[in-house]
Chain A
Amino acid sequence: MSKITFKISKPILYTFIVLVIAAAVFPVIELSRMYERYSWKKHTREQAQAKLIGEVNRIQKTILSIEQIPQNLAYVLEFSKPKKEHMNILLNAVVANNDEVFGTCIAFEPYSFDKDTLYYAPYLYKKDGKIVSVNSSDSSDHYFSKDWYLIPKTINKPVWIEPYFDEGAGGGNIILATYSVPFYYYDGANETMKGIVSVDISLDWLSKTVSSIKLFDESYCILVSENGTIISAPNPQWPYNESLFSIADEYRLPSLREIGRNLQKGKSGFVDVGEFGTRRDWWIYYMPIPANNWGVLLVVPEG
């Protein structure tokens, strides 16, 4: 029986050895890189989460303190039933002593303040550094059918109204959000809703707060209302015009729509959104603001 022998030249042998070593080492290096990327991603996401939790808590506290303003005013009205002149003093104090408050109003139910007056709604607001007073008693105002009056009256509880451009007494050019609180008179037997106290909040301070939140240079924050309307974002065209859902539709980003719906359910989480307005991939950590069901999104570039 003859023995079969293979003769391998040295260069081929060396090449073979190098290839075997490379095949063994390359996956190790790649695995190590993947682990590094995973660790970095995990670390930055933990950072993002911690950062946003802190900021949302801060915003939440401010919003709760703003909500307290009309609630206190409603208590005062319920117990003291003030006259016209006292009401103006109260409203003036609210506007003068609260930087965030743009204007405030006490709007009464039909013939509630005075049996001969259908509309009665004194409103004080800031204009050119002064406090200006108007009375929405003009029937053309029809405040009974406006969101800020109708919604809290119908659902019988305080409510934040979606942000809007001020078209009325404020003279425009300002995005406001209104918090409205119903107030009641108790006659010893029954409690009757008598009207709505509202405060109009300029969203400038909130926009500034949110835009200052950064994890890295290129990361940024978006603030949205309960219906997904964008209140603050680096793109100046977005606030008030766009919602998370309209952007999801325009950029074909179903994950963004999912974020909006999750925020409405009070959920938070991480989502890889892919290309988002630029040719880079981005991920988002989002979190609701429980006080008013608004939400904040921290948008971070991948890698």
Chain B
Amino acid sequence: MKNMVLILGFLVLLPLVMASPQNKELKKVTFLPSWVPQQQFAGYYMAKEKGIYAKYGLDVTIIPGGYRHDVVTSLKKGEIDFGIMFLYTGVMERANGAKIVNIGQIFQRSSIMFIAKKSSGIKTLKDFNGKRIGIWRTIAKELTTGFLKNHNINAEIVPFDKGTNVFLNGAVDVTVMMNYNEYHRLINSGINPDELNKFNFYDYGMNFPEDGIYCMESLFKKDPALCKKFVAASIEGWSYALTHKDETINVVDKYKEMAKVADNRSHAKWMLNSMNDMISSSGKNVTEGTLLESDYNNLTNFLYESKFITNKPLYGDFYKGSR
């Protein structure tokens, strides 16, 4: 009798087990973050690590980003299904004819700033004139040069690849940085916060959202459900990451080690804590992952007026996420 109950129980549960996502054939997709493994992408790594992508029926391969992997090029070549890009990059590419679409706007605000040592005497934007200003050679170039142009700053522009050495070695007086990354690296190089003057772009009317999830328009048209699943799972991954920070730091560390990325726990904590601020839509009254039309219009107007684009892609053509 006891055996009979067990067998019946097994037969009842069997269809449920068979229907669980782990046993369904998972849809293989590839995903390229815009940079090397770091907490900036913690939500995606956690979605993979904690089986959240699998729960949504996805088998996601995360390719470590970096100089050798450009997201737009990889999307256009069909090498990846999804990628992370700054909103401004997405708009510029779309305006220049690339058929890419934004399917989820993860970061809701700007983290870019210019920074100067107080000892340099640079206190206001006017003090930038005649100085050497470091900007990234490839990243956010339009935002940084547009910022300087809009404020009529006449300075020597020094394009550099990455990091803080150009600033620390005195090759530039002012440099571009992200608050969640290079700024803290400066602090961990021995400069105290009260020795620096920060010029946050969001204080100058340029609070443009940053990281969003992109794919080719053709993929979205062919399989919109797949795109929605990827975004929903990624947002759930972020939710997990921000509520399990120690575990998240350990997981991302594993990916950093594989990609030989130098980092430490102090910086990882700073970056992960900063992500709360980047993702939360406080004051915007939107659900996570949404690109507000007003944010989109602010950015496209800036790019158009600064002559970085000659046409403004329509919001509805560019953004395919939830509203």
Contacts and interface: CB of A to CB of B under 8 A. Distances in A.
The judgment on whether A and B are partners is: yes
Interface of A: 142, 145-147, 150-151, 154-155, 159, 161-162, 165, 172, 226-229, 240-247, 249-250, 257, 260-261, 264
Contact of B165 (A147, A165, A241, A245): A147
A151 B189 contact: no
Interface of B: 132, 137, 158-161, 163-166, 168-172, 187-190, 260, 262-267
Contacts of B260: 165, 172
B190 A159 contact: no
A226 B189 CA distance: 9
Given A227-B189, A228-B190, A245-B190, A154 B158 contact: yes
A167 to B, nearest CB: 8
SS class of chain B's interface: helix, strand, loop or mixed?
loop
B270 to A, nearest CB: 9
A155 B190 contact: no
B265 A250 contact: yes
Contacts of A227: 164-165, 168, 189-190
B189 A147 contact: no
B190 A257 contact: yes
A154 B171 CA distance: 6
B190 A250 contact: no
Contact of A151 (B169, B190, B267): B169
Contact of B171 (A151, A172, A226, A244): A151
Contacts of A161: 165
B170 A245 contact: no
B213 to A, nearest CB: 27
Contacts of B262: 165, 240-241
Shortest 9 CB-CB contacts between residues of A and residues of B: A154-B171, A246-B266, A227-B189, A249-B266, A246-B264, A245-B188, A145-B137, A246-B188, A242-B264
16 contacts: A142-B137, A142-B161, A145-B137, A147-B161, A147-B165, A151-B165, A151-B169, A155-B169, A155-B171, A162-B165, A243-B188, A243-B189, A243-B190, A245-B188, A245-B190, A245-B266
Given A147-B160, A154-B132, A257-B190, A241 B166 contact: no
Contacts of A155: 169-171
A150 B166 CA distance: 8
Given A145-B161, A243-B190, A246-B267, 7 more contacts: A145-B159, A147-B166, A165-B262, A227-B165, A243-B188, A246-B266, A247-B264
Looking at A142, A151, A229, A247, the one whose CB has the most chain B CB atoms below 10 A away is A151
A119 B188 CA distance: 35
A246 B169 CA distance: 19
A246 B188 CA distance: 5
Contact of B160 (A150, A172, A245, A250): A150
A249 B273 CA distance: 15
Nearest to A150: B160
Contacts of B158: 150, 154
B57 to A, nearest CB: 36
Contact of B188 (A145, A159, A228): A228
A147 B166 CA distance: 7
Contacts of B160: 145-147, 150
A226 B190 CA distance: 10
A192 B169 CA distance: 22
B260 to A, nearest CB: 6
Contacts of A250: 264-266
B171 A241 contact: no
A242 B166 CA distance: 19
Nearest to B137: A145
Nearest to B161: A145
Contacts of B265: 246, 250
Contacts of A142: 137, 161
Looking at B163, B168, B189, the one whose CB has the most chain A CB atoms below 10 A away is B189
